Amino acid sequence: MDDKYSRAFNARYMSFEEVARSFIVSDHFISIISCEHTILTGSRGCGKTTLLKMLHPKALNEWNNSEANRTKSEIPFIGIYIPADRQWKSQLDSFERKFDKNKDFVESIFRGVVNSNILIAICSTFSALIDINNIDESFEIDLSLKLIENWKIPTPIAPNLDDITIKLRKMVGDFNSIFHLKNEGQELPEICNKDFIDLVSLGIDCFESLVRKRKLVSIKYRNKWALCFDELEIAPKYLQNELVNLNLRSRSDQRIIFKLTSTPGLAELSEKKDVIRPSEKDDFSILKLWIYNSRSQRQWREFCNKYMTKSFEKRYNCKINLKSLFGEHNYIDGLKSVESFDFSKNKSKKQSEFDEGGTMWNVMYLLQKYDDSFKEYLIRKNIDPDNPIPKNSSQTDAIHRKIKPIVLYRYYFTEKSVRANKNIKLRSRNINAFNHGIDYIFDIADGNPRAFANLVNEFIDMVIFNSDKSIKKIDIQIQSRIIEAFSINYSYLRIRNYPKNEIKNNDLLLYEIIDKIGEYFFKRLVLDDFNADPIIFFYVEKKDKNLREFVDIALESGAILKIEEEINKKGVRNNIDVYRLSYSLYPKYKLPKVNYNPISLSSILNSQKTFIDYSQPNLFTNILE
């Protein structure tokens, strides 16, 4: 499959060694290697699987540089990576539906399948430890004999880890005859009745006792084992319950710690009505793998910088200065790149862009000439529309700087309307030149390494060296085009074609609601009467229960993200979550990456009757005229 947008950087496809070869250490990785239970939450593509896979001995063995060696030495456990995926979940769901009247039977089969999956994962870790430490073949034979006996693997079977794995897979395959023939009376193997933690403990006992017996001092052995469950949200309910409510709280085997990944909406984590539930900080820590505050934004930019620098260095065999290549995000540079008008007529270099003749002064002056609501706003603020200079520095900060992105967006995307009842209309723009700059490129990938890797691939062949070996800056318009194409062809396409597109009790599909949100924000920002506090976030009121499903699916698909502290939640009760569209969709909906106000989702949905078709930019002018 040669899919430039989806093949790159999906850790699920990659072997442990491949994951390690492209791995960039992040603060999240440093957090996850602590000797405590950890839950990693984030939507698709945010790097959860990469982090868990990196804990497997094969990945760590492949990861070799000075930073890696230092970090590896600090890891206090051996990782056991336990995969899950949606095909698996759908199989389990089908089974549950078929035997819906026999819950005990369903749970027994699920235990058999889940336990087999975990034991296969343990075999993989044991096998890696044996290979990496060059332990002789007889160790594997002895270990396998012990495992076969203790796990009660049906015999005859050759005593090696591969054959145990095959046998476990076959055992699961054999459950299918029960499935298809609906044969609930069939006797189930012992693996269907065991707690996974007991089986894991037995497996570890077998390994540790042999290591001790043989005095294998060379083995890089630690006395803790991390069970790394990927995609907890799709695990069977009984397992979610056991992991979160029992194992995180009290460990029956002190050698075992848990590293779990989940999408943000997992009910087992959010519905904390039960007092005996484990609590964050006391029993486990949560690692949020999305950008939810300024600190996470900073960490994300650091990761992107490392990743992009490494990618370009590999491609060109030399360090590329990313700031020189892309420049930094700057609204005025964007505007100047597409308009020949000389905005900057400052009389001296000491004057600011808001002083008379400055770029922003010019933009504000030009906008108020046809945008009556902006003109009225200036008048209300005691600013002369014909000379919109700030009266003092506090006004510069409180008004001019604050409204700068709004003014620029309105100026960029509107023009005077010829209709009597309107003063502005949308202006046709081929590109949004505000979308440029290295920090902007980092931000629109929005905590999603898979998305960022795809974006890097789009730029990686664009370095042009000058004769003096310096590099030529990539033109702002080219950057804008690539960013917009990424937003539409990578991010939006995934939302538009997300198979779980139906929202119960709602006529709109997932992407149609996302469209409505994006279009609404754009309309409020650019077309409605000028407002210094526009809308860019949304929340779901408690009474709108039918929209909760939309939030869950949208979070899962990565279309929206939950925002937390530091964001202005004006008018929203404290216990209500606030969300934003993924930054990766901002270029599609032509939104500025600025924090404004929230509004209820039901208000957005009730406010719009028509769509703006963004796939056909030429329609822009016709819609409102």
Partner 1 sequence: MKTKYIKQIEKQDLLNINFDLIISSSGYEVRSTYLSSLLNNSNNNNKIVFSFSDLRGQNERNKNDNIFHKLRFNSIKCDGNNSEILIKNIDDYIISSNKDLSILIDYSSMTRVWYGSIINYFKNLVIQNRQIIIYFAYSLAEYNKPNLKDSKTSHFEPIDGFCNLSVPSIPTALITGLGYEKNKAFGLKEFFDAELLYLFYTIDNEFTFSVLDKNKELIDRTSREYILPYNINDVLLTKTILLDLCSNLKKNFRIIIAPCGPKPFTIISFLVAAELGSIDVWRISGETVENNFKAIPNGKIITFEICYY
- For partner 1, the binding residues (CB under 8 A) are 1-6, 10, 12-13, 83-88, 90-95, 98, 109, 113, 116-117, 120-121, 124, 165, 168-169, 172-173, 175-176, 179-181, 489, 493-494, 496-502, 509, 511
Tell how strand 225-229 and strand 597-600 pair up.
unpaired
Q: Which is nearer to partner 1, 3 or 461 (CB)?
A: 3
**In the complex, minimum distance from the CB of residue 277 to partner 1, in angstroms, rounded to a whole number:** 27
**In the complex, minimum distance from the CB of residue 549 to partner 1, in angstroms, rounded to a whole number:** 13
Q: Which is nearer to partner 1, 93 or 529 (CB)?
A: 93
Cα separation, 446 vs 156, in Å, equals 52
| Residue appearing with tokens 């001019």 | 400
Cis peptide before 156 (omega within 30 of 0): yes
**In the complex, minimum distance from the CB of residue 113 to partner 1, in angstroms, rounded to a whole number:** 6
**In the complex, minimum distance from the CB of residue 133 to partner 1, in angstroms, rounded to a whole number:** 23
Tokens describing residue 305 = 């910088």
Q: Which is nearer to partner 1, 89 or 224 (CB)?
A: 89
**In the complex, minimum distance from the CB of residue 384 to partner 1, in angstroms, rounded to a whole number:** 50
Q: Which is nearer to partner 1, 54 or 114 (CB)?
A: 114
Cα separation, 291 vs 298, in Å, equals 9
**In the complex, minimum distance from the CB of residue 613 to partner 1, in angstroms, rounded to a whole number:** 11
**In the complex, minimum distance from the CB of residue 95 to partner 1, in angstroms, rounded to a whole number:** 6
Cα separation, 625 vs 13, in Å, equals 49
Number of H helices, E strands in the chain: 28, 11
**In the complex, minimum distance from the CB of residue 546 to partner 1, in angstroms, rounded to a whole number:** 15
- Strand, helix or coil for residue 183: coil
Q: Which is nearer to partner 1, 371 or 458 (CB)?
A: 458
The residue type at 468: D
Q: Which is nearer to partner 1, 508 or 624 (CB)?
A: 508
Exposure string for 548-586, b = 16+ CB within 10 A, e = fewer: ebbbbbbbbbbbbbbbeeebebeebeeeebbbbbbbbbb
Cα separation, 523 vs 288, in Å, equals 32
Q: Which is nearer to partner 1, 86 or 347 (CB)?
A: 86
Tell how strand 578-581 and strand 535-539 pair up.
antiparallel
Q: Which is nearer to partner 1, 2 or 342 (CB)?
A: 2
**In the complex, minimum distance from the CB of residue 493 to partner 1, in angstroms, rounded to a whole number:** 7
Sign of the torsion formed by the C-alpha atoms of 21, 22, 27 and 28: negative
**In the complex, minimum distance from the CB of residue 146 to partner 1, in angstroms, rounded to a whole number:** 22
**In the complex, minimum distance from the CB of residue 56 to partner 1, in angstroms, rounded to a whole number:** 12
Q: Which is nearer to partner 1, 436 or 494 (CB)?
A: 494
Q: Which is nearer to partner 1, 182 or 215 (CB)?
A: 182
What number of residues does the chain have?
Answer: 625
According to DSSP H, which parts of 5-85 are helical?
16-21, 27-32, 48-53, 57-62, 66-73
Which residues have a Cβ under 8 Å from the Cβ of 530 and sit 6 or more positions away? 371, 373, 374, 376, 377, 406, 410
**In the complex, minimum distance from the CB of residue 464 to partner 1, in angstroms, rounded to a whole number:** 27
Phi, psi of 70 (to 5 degrees): -65, -45
Q: Which is nearer to partner 1, 121 or 563 (CB)?
A: 121
| In contact, 448 and 561? CB cutoff 8 Å | no
Tokens describing residue 415 = 């023009």
Cα separation, 523 vs 314, in Å, equals 43
The residue type at 6: S
Show contacts of 92-100: CB within 8 Å, 24+ apart: 92/236, 95/179, 98/179, 98/182, 99/182, 99/184
Q: Which is nearer to partner 1, 246 or 508 (CB)?
A: 508
